[in-house]
Structure 1
């Protein structure tokens, strides 16, 4: 697919390299070198994907991501020289859909971009038009989530995960299964990315995220989406 990609990278050589790879793949690009410029351009002319460096001048990438997540579900791929797991999870917790540490290979970068664009393309969404699990409705074509008729704004990563869970309400998925089903063969980040997305989703769809009754954990196995309006502890296996 041909997409419009905004590159927010203060290293001009890195930005140019990314631009060349994207345009060689048939995408249209725009480049900015600071956080405020990234915010302005997204608001004026929203792209299909934002590649966002963490260490931007004036306004860093984490702040940009935090602000944008209040306004849009635009797919965000964060780039950083920081390599600790805490940094990675912090970026994801703010709403980034993916996170890459420098240095990285251009092939890996393009694989991540393809995955994000595919996940955020409603026309590419598999399965039935409408998915339902209790009060929750997931529309893969419109890329919408409704809870008791109220719109729930999800990032592309959260939406992809919720779509898989809603496709088989009541089924328990392991972290590895959720990674494979939402990210295909793109396995550069470990299973904790699933935990971060689950936590973010619970804050959006649960009355009490600390005692979830819709999106529950099955000890030692993984996660499931309850498929009925009624939620009860049955055999002590579930965390609520």
Structure 2
């Protein structure tokens, strides 16, 4: 049985202890930090999931998450934001950074455990008959290594951006509605706004440069990777 290592980052020490105890009871190996600054001193690349509070001292959870996403070694670690902030803009900020889930306080421990299992299940699942390589011209995706390249130069994509591009590139010309993209890239258990899809697509187009024009919007229908 694989034991997954999880990091809880929250400035509420009691909450950290409660989460740590319950996660360890479920069989996970858990560390905690009471600030983003403290967490940055740890070997973050060894964690399979980070549960991260948004409202902390000098460095917010959003800023900490941005640092993770810009580091190649930590860019693809799943993040669950845990916060008392529950506005649409806050959720969009979290998902735009590349969060995998967003849980509002107060919450039930059972809900957190269910979300943790769902995120880990998606992030560590083995590829099912995945092609070794997906490519169009000089744009290349490696579904096994979860890496994207243009002319053999790696592009820095978040997990969600990569999964969206993989989906569209796997079925060139096929139109996917927002609902279909949500069901295939995000879990049904995660609350995601349609606008989050649009934001991820916009950011993805920019990151893949000239190839962004091939991600076409079909008004009233959705998106497709159009090569003709």
Report matched runs for 1:106-185 at 5 Å: 106-121=109-124, 124-126=126-128, 127-185=130-188
Shift of 1:187: 4.0
Distance 1:197 1:42 in 2: 28
Given that 1:179 and 1:187 are in contact with CA atoms closer than 8 Å, whether structure 2 keeps it comes out as no
Distance 1:155 1:110 in 2: 24
Given that 1:116 and 1:156 are in contact with CA atoms closer than 8 Å, whether structure 2 keeps it comes out as no
Distance 2:60 2:42 in 1: 15
Query: SS in structure 1 opposite 2:111?
Result: helix
Query: SS in structure 1 opposite 2:7?
Result: strand
Given that 1:49 and 1:75 are in contact with CA atoms closer than 8 Å, whether structure 2 keeps it comes out as yes
Distance 2:65 2:88 in 1: 18
Shift of 1:146: 1.5
Change (3 A) 1:110 1:120: same
Q: TM-score, normalised by structure 1?
A: 0.83
Change (3 A) 1:92 1:2: same
Change (3 A) 1:136 1:76: same
Residue ranges of structure 1 left out of the alignment (5+ in a row): 231-240
Shift of 1:42: 4.2
Q: TM-score, normalised by structure 2?
A: 0.86
Number of aligned residues = 223
Change (3 A) 1:184 1:96: closer
Given that 2:102 and 2:190 are in contact with CA atoms closer than 8 Å, whether structure 1 keeps it comes out as no
Distance 2:156 2:141 in 1: 11
Partner of 1:60: 60
Shift of 1:225: 2.0
Shift of 1:193: 2.7
Given that 1:75 and 1:155 are in contact with CA atoms closer than 8 Å, whether structure 2 keeps it comes out as no
Q: In the alignment, which of 188, 203, 210 is matched to residue 191 of structure 2?
A: 188
Partner of 2:41: 40
Query: SS in structure 2 opposite 1:176?
Result: helix
* Structure holding more helix per residue: 2
Distance 1:83 1:204 in 2: 29
Change (3 A) 1:42 1:85: farther
Given that 1:174 and 1:223 are in contact with CA atoms closer than 8 Å, whether structure 2 keeps it comes out as yes
Report matched runs for 1:74-89 at 5 Å: 74-89=77-92
Partner of 1:10: 11
Given that 1:119 and 1:156 are in contact with CA atoms closer than 8 Å, whether structure 2 keeps it comes out as no
CA RMSD of aligned residues (A): 2.2
Given that 2:98 and 2:159 are in contact with CA atoms closer than 8 Å, whether structure 1 keeps it comes out as no
Given that 1:133 and 1:225 are in contact with CA atoms closer than 8 Å, whether structure 2 keeps it comes out as no
